[in-house]
Amino acid sequence: MWSYIARRLLLMIPTLFGIMLLNFVIIQAAPGGPVEQVLAQLDGIDSQASTRMGSGQQSELQSSASSSGNSGSSDYRGAQGIDPELIKEIERQFGFDKPSPERFWLMITQYLQFDFGESFFRDREVIDLIIEKMPVSISLGLWTTLLVYLISIPLGIKKATAHGSSFDLWSSTLIIVGYAIPGFLFAIMLIVFFAGGSYWDWFPLRGLTSENFDQMTWLEKIGDYFWHITLPVLASVISSFATLTMLTKNSFLDEINKQYVMTARAKGASEHRVLYGHVFRNAMLLIIAGMPSALIGIFFTGSLLIEVIFSLDGLGLLGFEAVMQRDYPVIFGTLFIFTLIGLLLKLVSDLTYIFVDPRISFEGQR
């Protein structure tokens, strides 16, 4: 097993490098980079760009602009009439005075030391931003995962034992509807019905806590927290429970029809003993081992639009704003961490099979 773990860890290096290189090429080719945004602001095209710039960069660029002429030309869109020296100064501040291969290599060498640099528009270290936003995403992901497993496993077992019944048919209909509705669309529906959209104003629309959270007692803080997180968690659960429910049902159906179950019943074992004493352990193998993979989807993909819609200040919203602002250090820093965690969880997912069922071994794989 240790040789398998070593091979997987070594394989993560080229995988991580390839993912970062591919995204670097795509993002660099996308129009509207940080230099263009600053030039648009200086040229009066984007009046709101200054609110996204750091205060230090703003003062430095303004002083540079005041000392520069307006007679130059540039290949950048929106740079007409801006002094080329000022453009070069802006490129130097953002690191674009170096060729792309050199910038990519410098980025990778810094990331290997977990040095993600400083945000272009926030005047803060990227790692500090990630640490600050991570509790919100973890909170949303943990509650979503807990509810998904608490709902899906009992429902899947019930559907397997009542296969073909009316309960199985109408519950399958609800599951199909839930699977077909995207999480972000369900989130909008919840806002319309329960957050003051068009009907009831029962739940807040923004954030995880109220403004007076610090003045509340600990009991009031708990209630306020669950009051705010109810709708985001429900929106995340609806897009995740359908797949796990059907996986649980199919796993139990496959085990129920095996010979050892028939033998246990022939020996006089009760149905409860057969189901939970024999079938449950084998049927839950795929479900328990798949938990790390499920966490990847819930934490890093499913929460993005949910955080944006409910204005939750987490990693999803941070990444969305970084993409919109072309804040490259934040984009690549979060991408590096997400990819690394995802690869490690994939390895944990494989190793979980061994702990759940010792008969499984990876030693024969090459």
In this structure, what CATH number is given to the domain that contains residue 178?
A: 1.10.3720.10
Dihedral of the alpha carbons of 164, 180, 321, 24, in degrees to the nearest 10: 90
Looking at residue 53, its pLDDT comes to 47
Residues 187 and 295 in one domain: yes
Q: Are residues 208 and 291 in the same domain?
A: yes
Note whether 345 and 220 are same-domain residues: yes
Q: What would the two tokens of residue 117 be?
A: 């640099």
In sequence order, which residues have a C-beta less than 8 Å from that of residue 349 and are 6 or more positions away? Answer: 289, 290, 291, 292, 293
* Residue range 124-166, pLDDT digits in tens: 888 888 888 888 888 888 888 888 888 888 898 888 888 888 8
Of 113, 138, 168, the last residue of a domain is 113
In a domain, 5, yes or no: no
315 and 183, same domain (yes or no): yes
Do 225 and 153 lie in a common domain? yes
pLDDT digits (tens, 9 = 90+) for 299-347: 665 567 788 888 888 887 888 888 888 888 888 888 888 888 888 888 8
Domain boundary among 80, 113, 146: 113
Higher pLDDT, 299 or 54: 299
Q: Which letter, b or e, does each residue of 250-288 get, where b requires 16 or more Cβ atoms within 10 Å of its Cβ? A: ebbbebbeeeebeebeeeeeeeeebbeebbeebbbbebb
Please report whether residue 13 resides in a domain: no
Domain with 322, as residue range(s), is 127-356
Q: What is the DSSP string of 32-83?
A: S-HHHHHHHHHTTS-TTGGGGS-HHHHHHHHHHHHTS-S----SSTT-TTS-
Give the number of other CB atoms < 10 A from CB of residue 195. Answer: 20
> Does 10 fall in a domain?
no
Rounded CA gap, 276 and 356, in Å? Answer: 16
Question: Mean pLDDT over residues 278-297, rounded?
Answer: 71
Report how far apart, in Å, the C-alpha atoms of 249 and of each of 81, 114, 282, 305 are: 67, 43, 13, 29
Kindly report, residue by residue over 178-194, the tens digit of the pLDDT.
Answer: 888 877 788 888 888 88
DSSP tag of 213: G
Does 179 share its domain with 222? Answer: yes
Residue where the block lists tokens 């159906």: 253
pLDDT per position as a tens digit, 226-277: 888 888 888 888 867 888 888 888 888 888 878 888 888 888 878 778 877 7
By three-state DSSP, how is residue 334 classified?
helix
Cα 284 to Cα 250: distance, rounded to the nearest angstrom: 11
Q: Is the dihedral of CA 152, 153, 158, 163 positive or negative?
A: positive
46 and 189 share one domain = no
The SS3 call for residue 203 is coil
| 337 and 215 within one domain | yes
Instruction: Report whether 190 contacts 199 (CB < 8 A).
Output: no
Percent share of the chain, pLDDT over 70: 79
Same domain, 137 and 94: no
Token pair of 273, please? 């003993």
Among candidate residues 153, 309, 314, 303, the one with its CA nearest the CA of residue 237: 303
What CA–CA distance (Å, rounded) separates 341 from 20? 14
Report if residue 335 sits inside a domain: yes
Beta bridge partners of 125: 118
Residue with tokens 């984009």: 331
143, two tokens: 């509650």
- Do 90 and 175 lie in a common domain? no
Q: How many domains does the chain have?
A: 2
Q: Say whether both 43 and 147 belong to one domain.
A: no
Strand partners, 118: 125
Q: Which of 67, 86, 113 is the last residue of a domain?
A: 113
Q: How far is CA 216 from CA 7, 203, 221, 256, in A?
A: 52, 18, 6, 52
Same domain, 37 and 143: no
Rounded CA-CA distance 148/185 in Å is 18
Whether residue 21 is contained in a domain is answered as: no
